[in-house]
């Protein structure tokens, strides 16, 4: 157990006092397992970095942003064997901010954007919001693998971008070398830009994360890699992300924009992110061990106590993609679980057509809370 995350009733009191949407959106009788926030407190080094600025009244214009790109490059090299070019790294407030900016300024209305469904639903909203066209390539149901033939068949003359998520949200897959090679092949032959959201890359279990920048030489010159400390270190509300822009046209477009058009991350967000990437390796390792225990607990409990619910153990993330299609809640499982079990999950249909009958469960919590979540779901399914 994380030393900074107490268990039992005291932990519930702490969590229910938080103002974040995870615990504040629903009533006091609901246990939330929906939005991708962990129930663990951020690292002490992160809190110290923020507190030192606040305590010193150092809240004016700040120069620490210059350290963000080197901190990201050092972290990636240390953990994933990739040394990004700091000259190609630029800050954004969030990963979605970077995605929408690139879509808006490098494509035209109606252009196609490939996504592998089921997929993190804000990706779909970003494509729709920019008036671009979804090119939905369904993953294979068995194992959530990418089908190269299905990908190739989806490409046409107006397809411009592959919007990728590695590791994958919501299934927790870490795509293998064969799958990444298939994407690189299609991208090269059709001259596609690849945007790779890799913010889950630090939270893997049996299969290591491999950045796309190191996976295949054919990604060179056509890849934008997105990073953030938000998921690994539970800092989403601090709004700080980076993009490694290995794509000349995108760099030119961004350089031509007014300097303040895209805004900036706050000093607090930058300080927290730098501290996370430079000082919190041990905390991260402890979190991964804790999440691995919760993952084992989840798989054991679902298989023993929710026999109608199917899951493939995630290879990464703290998200589990639960198949309720054989239960009475198949049509809208998250809605049914909220109504009958007072547990909040994410509705699978929001993640694209292959998500019908599924719900996403966040297991980044304590052992006792996860047991209570699963107890409630099991009781609700058994009661009808």
Residue 61 has pLDDT above 90, yes or no: no
Q: Is residue 4 scored above 50 in pLDDT?
A: no
Mean local confidence (pLDDT), 367-377 = 98
Residue 2 has pLDDT above 60, yes or no: no
Q: What is the mean pLDDT of residues 105-112?
A: 97
Strand partners, 226: 197, 243
Spell out the domains of the chain, with CATH numbers in brackets. Answer: 9-43+281-382 (3.90.1150.10), 48-279 (3.40.640.10)
Return the structure tokens found at 186.
């299609």
Segment 214-232 shows an average pLDDT of: 98
Q: How many residues are given for the chain?
A: 384
The β-bridge relationship of strands 193-197 and 159-165 is parallel
Query: What are the tens digits of pLDDT across the range 308-367?
Result: 999 999 999 999 999 999 999 999 999 999 999 999 999 999 999 999 999 999 999 999
Query: How confident is the model at residue 8, as a pLDDT?
Result: 66
Alpha carbon separation from 316 to 39, 52, 370 (Å, rounded): 17, 33, 18
Give the model's pLDDT for residue 7.
54
**Cα-atom radius of gyration of the chain, to the nearest Å?**
21
**pLDDT tens-digit profile of 262-287?**
878 899 999 999 999 999 999 999 99
131: left (phi over 0), alpha (psi -120 to 50) or beta: left
Task: Examine the pLDDT at 52 and tell me if it is beyond 70.
Answer: yes
Average pLDDT over residues 162-187: 98
The helix-helix angle for 95-106 and 121-129 (nearest 10°) equals 30
Main-chain dihedrals φ then ψ at residue 48, nearest 5 degrees:
-65, -40
SS3 266: coil
């Amino acid at each position: 157990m994380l030393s900074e995350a107490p268990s039992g009733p005291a932990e519930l009191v702490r969590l229910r006092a938080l103002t974040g949407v995870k615990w504040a959106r629903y009533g006091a009788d609901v246990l939330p397992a929906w939005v991708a926030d962990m129930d663990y407190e951020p690292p002490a080094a992160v809190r110290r970095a923020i507190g030192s600025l606040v305590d010193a009244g150092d809240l004016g214009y700040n120069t620490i942003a210059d350290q963000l790109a080197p901190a990201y490059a050092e972290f990636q090299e240390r953990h994933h064997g990739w040394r990004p070019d700091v000259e190609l790294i630029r800050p954004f407030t969030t990963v979605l901010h970077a995605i929408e900016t690139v879509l808006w300024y490098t494509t035209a209305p109606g252009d196609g954007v490939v996504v592998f469904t089921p997929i993190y639903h804000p990706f779909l909203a970003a494509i729709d919001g920019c008036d671009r066209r979804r090119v939905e390539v369904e993953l294979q149901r068995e194992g959530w693998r990418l089908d190269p033939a299905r990908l190739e068949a989806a490409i046409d003359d107006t397809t411009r971008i592959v919007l990728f998520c590695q590791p994958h949200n919501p299934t927790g897959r870490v795509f293998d070398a064969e799958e990444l090679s298939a994407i690189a092949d299609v991208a090269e032959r059709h001259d596609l830009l690849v945007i790779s959201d890799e913010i889950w890359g630090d939270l893997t279990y049996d299969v290591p994360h491999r950045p796309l920048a190191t996976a295949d030489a054919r990604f060179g010159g056509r890849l934008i890699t997105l990073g953030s400390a938000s998921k690994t270190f539970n800092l989403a509300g601090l709004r700080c992300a980076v993009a490694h822009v290995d794509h000349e046209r995108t760099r030119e477009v961004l350089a031509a924009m007014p300097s303040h058009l895209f805004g900036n991350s706050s000093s607090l967000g930058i300080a927290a992110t730098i501290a996370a990437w430079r000082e919190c390796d041990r905390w991260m390792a402890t979190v991964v061990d804790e999440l691995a225990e919760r993952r084992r607990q989840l798989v054991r409990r679902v298989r023993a106590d929710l026999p109608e619910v199917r899951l493939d153990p995630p290879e990464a993330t703290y998200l589990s993609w639960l198949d309720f299609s054989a239960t009475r809640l198949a049509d809208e499982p998250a809605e049914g679980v909220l109504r009958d079990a007072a547990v909040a999950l994410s509705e699978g249909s929001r993640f694209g057509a292959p998500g019908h009958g599924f719900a996403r469960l966040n297991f980044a919590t304590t052992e006792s809370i996860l047991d209570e979540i699963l107890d409630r779901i099991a009781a609700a399914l058994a009661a009808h």
